Structure 1
Amino acid sequence: MQGQQEHIVKSFDDQLKNVAHQIARMGGMAESQFSSAVDALARRDSDLAGRVVNADTGLDGLEHQIEEETVRILALRQPVATDLREIIAAFKIASDTERIGDYAVNVAKRTLALNQLPPAQPASAVPRMAKLVQSIVKDTFDAYVERDAEKALDVWHRDAEVDEMYTSLFRELLTYMMEDPRAITPCTHLLFIAKNIERIGDHATNIAETIHYLVTGDYIEGGRPKGDTSSYAVVEAPETAEDIGTENTPNSGDGSSNA
């Protein structure tokens, strides 16, 4: 494995390589699961969405295997320095990767609900955001395999772009819901889907931070760049002709209202 020193005890090397192989395999499964969930959303493919939901146990099983193996290595080998970072990184990356799979399953479940409704106009905006996050997830696991700290740092910076896209989409979906009550149900599902995709980006960024620490031994300096301002987003309801007419109607003389 690139960047890993050879040990006197060959079985120790084999254990470390096996853990790295399992992490790479887990990353590939998470990428595939997320990609399938996005495809199911874009194509309104309920069969594919159902397969994503049913495939979640594979990632869970791999995470448990990695946890057991890392604990065994810690107990038997008592690793230090780079080896210790390798084990700690594997443990943390496995957890974040499993969460990526969970959020992909959530996207698939919401897709199954959406497919029971007429197509919603803003649905096309969500896959655009998903494509960006897909590229981030791919680059993250490439950085792990290649032990590339610079690529991991690039992923870390790109998270802000995902946040900005999510905030924009949040406002857009709120506007659709206010303009047309029939859009409330599908747009609500799309809001949850968009949030799940944004969280996938966050976990990929967590992994990128761990990779940077694994390779360099240093944590990334400074706070994580953030562009999600949806918590403060306020969209004004459109003014209707009825509102204008009510506003211009004088109150009755006794100060009472007909509301």
Structure 2
Amino acid sequence: MVVREKFEHDLRDVQEQFLALSKLAISTLNNSIDALLSHDVDTALSIIENDYHINRREEEINDRVILLLAKQQPVATDLRRLIVMLKAAHDMERVGDYAVNIAKEAIRLGKADFVAPIKNIEEMRTRTINMLTEVMKAFIEEDIVEARKIAELDDHVDQLYGQTIQQLLHVGTENPQMLSQVTQLSFVCRYLERSADHATNIAEQLFYLVKGKHYELNN
């Protein structure tokens, strides 16, 4: 196998690893909200215990990319592709961290009834999971048209976040004894909002890969 063919083969392998990492992180985030909504402490504990799988996948991608940088000394687009892969993998690993944080909040909440409507949290989850899933596809296909659309969706998540925090603050004011749960649900909203931000980060990285310039897509 000639050098170029070997590089392209190794790069495809790294992309497959990134795809696997992304799917696992997105699934874990989705499961963490399921655990929260269904008061499923066992699932929440499992999410926390299995976090090392996501961390290990990111470490493997880092190792592969560093090895390719050292051995192949890629230039131009190939170099950007590898650097962007590192950053995107880190973004997905952070999504996994937020899933763990949500699982911890689910454990703290236990079996207690929710003091506020959780419709907005469910919608934030749906929109965030959609953003992450679509940006993953756009990243693999290097589709900047779709990447721009995904970044625009972040505004909707931000609006939902703001609305939900206002609702929770109102509940906390009216029911001071429920302030602990209000705080925990506020953290959950924040973790979802930050996960959506990481989808936007990946979209911006894709623009850098394709265009060779940094763009801020969510000003």
Please classify the TM superposition score into its range, dividing by the shorter chain length: over 0.9
Separation of aligned partners in 2, 1:128 and 1:161: 10
Query: Of 75, 85, 101, which residue of structure 1 is paired with 2:70?
Result: 75
Residue 189 of structure 1 pairs with residue 197 of structure 2: no
Query: Of 10, 20, 24, which residue of structure 2 is paired with 1:25?
Result: 20
Q: 1:184 deviation in Å? A: 0.8
- 1:1-259 paired onto structure 2 within 5 Å: 8-220=3-215, 224-225=218-219
Deviations 1:205-230 (A, max 9, x none): 1011112222333333x5623xxxxx
Deviations 1:170-203 (A, max 9, x none): 1110000001122211111000110111110111
Q: 1:102 deviation in Å? A: 0.2
Deviations 1:105-151 (A, max 9, x none): 10111011112433323334312211111111111111112221111
Q: 1:44 deviation in Å? A: 1.6
Deviations 1:151-178 (A, max 9, x none): 1111111111111111111111000000
Higher relative contact order (CA 8 A, sep 6+): 2
Instruction: Describe the SS at the equivalent of 2:117.
Output: helix
Cα 1:223–1:214 change in 2 (3 A) is closer
Which residue in 2 is equivalent to 1:4?
none
Moved over 2 A (4+): 7-10, 116-125, 215-220, 222-225
Contact 2:116 2:168 in 1 (8 A): no
Separation of aligned partners in 2, 1:159 and 1:214: 21
TM-score with structure 1 setting the length:
0.80
Contact 2:39 2:111 in 1 (8 A): no
Unaligned runs of 5+ in 2: none
Decide which structure has greater helix share.
2
Contact 1:37 1:105 in 2 (8 A): yes
Structure with higher Rg: it is 1
Separation of aligned partners in 2, 1:194 and 1:111: 12
Instruction: Describe the SS at the equivalent of 1:132.
Output: helix
Contact 1:42 1:124 in 2 (8 A): no
Deviations 1:24-83 (A, max 9, x none): 111111111011011112222112111211121011001111111111111111101221
Contact 1:100 1:200 in 2 (8 A): yes
Separation of aligned partners in 1, 2:94 and 2:14: 18
Contact 1:122 1:173 in 2 (8 A): no
